[in-house]
Structure 1
């Protein structure tokens, strides 16, 4: 059995725009639906979602019938968590709250076996290696693993060039939520000061030669940051789609509810 190629890693390395969606519902059916809906990538969140390893495995399995590349976000830059998600079959990881080059190096090392100068523990029969049936997995796994790191604080932004220079970092993801909070504008990623800071960060990431990414649920801002140079952009979340869809569906019947309320008053 041959190793699965990481088409997401290939795409962002080539500068091909990848439009994605955040998945926070921790549900296999929603992942199965969304993975086949035309998005280039879908992120399974375990940092801010009630999601654990066994459930992530089932979500990765559900996504196999779709066309979206799967990205998993561990709860932290933790070697044990990273090892477990890799063994579960994740090929692309988004590591949260990376503040400097040393933390970026630790994230990368956690995805490499000691033979490739890493810290990853060896499991002979994990899902990642097709339970030991995948030819050359242990020698070449790191070639198809994509490491994305999140810079989401003012301190991290100061270190963009050093973080991007770490060998094995495949992309820099700018987290506007935590950044806006760090800038004293919590929940306001569209604040002019935050937008200006993100624009500058995107330009600096691009100058390093690494692809930049972002999550933003506002369509205008998503277009803006993509036009500024983000290569992998998440344009919303499954929860957002559900909330907004429910609002629109209910609003379509407001006139009937109001008319009925007047008749029965």
Structure 2
């Protein structure tokens, strides 16, 4: 007899019951081992990146399996807001999906439909073949799937900024995530995530989300900026990544033992 299983709390569940700002980091290197190490760090969230990272479905699956034993909430970012890709991510067991570059209410509504089964949406039905339902071991998965999945959309452009209030109010959008890097570029401030105009824009999205009752998160690797967004009401913050931590820590080792100039080049 199969073991009846239950789903873990979604990101929406975590945000709804949180009594503080949640903190997380990105898994960008594609390594299940690195993802597992990060999952045991004590952070609340781990965002597996399928947009800017060298990962495919098998790598995402392996990372989800590696972190499943830890009390961290994994989120998977799709490379694009495409219904077929979202279907694959959901079927392999991603409960929490993040869609980049959502610029309008219409796009947000389409993403809601993509993560829900008919009649609520257009998600293809294949759960009996998939890890999402643990191969039909989660009771009533088809009927309850819309409650067991959370959808977050990213605000990353001037167009999305103007539509943020409407996007936040779309039923089925569980959270927003502001991407200051792309937002800065869209505002003509490429590489200036901490420019006053960008910070003001991010804070305006936080306010719009609060007015709509939708949690807003921000990508903020600078600690002082992260603190500012937390004080402004951000519900969650992504404050680092596996690859940047490794890059900066390895550079610090080189600075400590070789010197800031890197020493003389080795001859090979």
Q: TM-score range with shorter-chain normalisation?
A: over 0.9
Alignment match, 2:15: 12
Alignment match, 2:123: 120
Q: Deviations over 1:26-74 (max 9, x none)?
A: 1111001101111101000011111111111011001112221100000
TM-score (norm 2): 0.92
From 233, 238, 244, give the equivalent of 1:240. Answer: 244
Distance 1:232 1:255, change over 3 A: closer
How many residues of Structure 1 are paired with residues of Structure 2 in the alignment? Answer: 259
Q: Deviations over 1:203-223 (max 9, x none)?
A: 122111110101111111111
Task: Report the Cα offset of residue 125 of structure 1.
Answer: 2.0
Matched, 1:185 2:186: no
Alignment match, 1:2: 5
Task: Report the Cα offset of residue 235 of structure 1.
Answer: 0.3
Distance 1:257 1:54, change over 3 A: closer
Q: Deviations over 1:101-152 (max 9, x none)?
A: 110011111111104x110001122001111222111110110211101011
Aligned counterparts of 1:180 and 1:64: Cα–Cα separation in 2: 35
Alignment match, 1:134: 138
**Mean Cα displacement is larger for which, 82-91 or 185-194?**
185-194
Aligned counterparts of 1:73 and 1:160: Cα–Cα separation in 2: 19
Report the 3-state secondary structure (helix = DSSP H, G, I; strand = E; otherwise coil) of the residue aligned with 1:114. Answer: coil
Contact 2:7 2:138 in 1 (8 A): no
**Mean Cα displacement is larger for which, 248-257 or 66-75?**
248-257
**Gap regions ≥5 residues in structure 1:** none
From 102, 112, 130, give the equivalent of 1:98. Answer: 102
Alignment match, 1:64: 68
From 164, 167, 177, give the equivalent of 2:168. Answer: 164
Task: Report the Cα offset of residue 255 of structure 1.
Answer: 6.0
Matched, 1:205 2:203: no
Aligned counterparts of 2:260 and 2:209: Cα–Cα separation in 1: 52
Task: Report the Cα offset of residue 256 of structure 1.
Answer: 11
Aligned counterparts of 1:196 and 1:163: Cα–Cα separation in 2: 18
Q: Deviations over 1:210-253 (max 9, x none)?
A: 10101111111111111111111100111110011112222222
Alignment match, 2:153: 149
Superposed CA RMSD in Å reads 1.8
Aligned counterparts of 2:226 and 2:134: Cα–Cα separation in 1: 37
Report the 3-state secondary structure (helix = DSSP H, G, I; strand = E; otherwise coil) of the residue aligned with 1:48. Answer: coil
Matched, 1:108 2:112: yes
From 37, 48, 51, give the equivalent of 2:52. Answer: 48
